[in-house]
Structure 1
Amino acid sequence: MLDIGYALSRRFPDPPQMNYREADVRALRHDLFCGDVYLADTKADREVGTAWGWVPVLDFAWALCDIVEQLDTDPLGSRASRPQYAELDFTESTDRMLFARRFGWVDIEADWMRAEEEPLTFSHGELRKEARDFLHDLVADLIDLHEGLGANPVIWTLQARYPRVG
Structure 2
Amino acid sequence: MVVIASCSSKPSKDNGHLSVEEQRKSLSNAMLDFNAARSVAEFHIIDSLSIAWRWNSKKITGGIVYEKILEEEESNESSLVEYGDTVIWNIKASLINGIECYTIPSLKYVVGHSNQPQAFDELATKLRRGDSIRAIVPSLMAYGTIGVPSKVPPGALLVLQVRQN
When normalised by structure 1's length, the TM-score is: 0.25
Who wins on radius of gyration, i.e. which is larger?
Answer: 2
More helix by proportion, 1 or 2?
Answer: 1
